[in-house]
Amino acid sequence: MDVGVRLQSIRKLKGLSQRELAKRAGVTNSTISMIEKNSVSPSISSLKKVLAGIPMSLVEFFSLELEQDNPTQVVYKASELIDISDGAVTMKLVGKAHPSRAIAFLSETYPPGADTGDEMLTHEGEEAGMLVDGKLELTVAGEVYVLESGDSYYFESAKPHRFRNPFDVPAKLISATTPANF
């Protein structure tokens, strides 16, 4: 697998534009464009700067490259999931061998007090999930729900939504979002 495609899929998975990533990384958008198109082979220092804007280490970057040499992996051990955690919420992505995935299937853990941020989330697509442990508060389009172990949900992601754990035990959630550009 080549560097360009890999960078692009990681960038899109993080929901960043070329310009946005370029600004965070301290390079120009044209640099990122050309790297993703494989019209240049970036220097180590450049790639390092770019990845710092994601953020991601060189090790992680090339580890992912290795893993997708095995394009037909079907089963994933817990330790094989990709960590895309954001803040206090840990999020682990299933299906690392599928760079152009249609579904972001996640294992998420919300410690007591954790949430997805003050702002309500809105994006295209649909999402579903099931709580496997603890209790979790879900707000969708102004309605507040409390999920308990075994409860599940499904809604259009365009509706403003937010997850919060105001309880005193960690909540473990299995979720799926499509498309995967969240």
Tokens standing for residue 126: 């649909």
State the Cα–Cα distance between residues 141 and 161, nearest whole angstrom: 6
Least distance (Å) between residue 35 CB and a second copy: 9
Instruction: Give the CB-side neighbour count of residue 116, counting CA atoms within 13 A.
Output: 16
Least distance (Å) between residue 43 CB and DNA: 4
> By CB under 7 A, is residue 19 in contact with DNA?
yes
> By CB under 7 A, is residue 107 in contact with DNA?
no
State the Cα–Cα distance between residues 166 and 144, nearest whole angstrom: 13
* Residue of 5, 7, 24, 42 interacting with DNA (CB under 7 A): 42
> By CB under 8 A, is residue 78 in contact with a second copy?
no
Kind of pairing between the strands at 135-140 and 152-156 = unpaired
Tokens standing for residue 105: 């299937």
* Residue of 25, 32, 36, 42 interacting with a second copy (CB under 8 A): 42
How many other C-beta atoms can be found within 10 angstroms of the C-beta atom of residue 143? 10
Q: Which CB contacts under 8 angstroms, 24+ apart, belong to 142-145?
A: none
Least distance (Å) between residue 4 CB and a second copy: 10
Instruction: Print the binding letters for residues 43-82 with DNA: x by CB under 7 A, - otherwise.
Output: x-xx------------------------------------
> Which range, of 19-27, 65-73, 97-105, 151-159, touches DNA by CB under 7 A?
19-27
The strands making up 143-148's β-sheet, listed across from edge to edge, are 143-148, 135-140, 161-164
Write out the residues near a second copy by the rule CB under 8 A: 3, 40-47, 57-59, 61-63, 65-66
Write out the residues near DNA by the rule CB under 7 A: 17-20, 26-31, 33-37, 39-43, 45-46
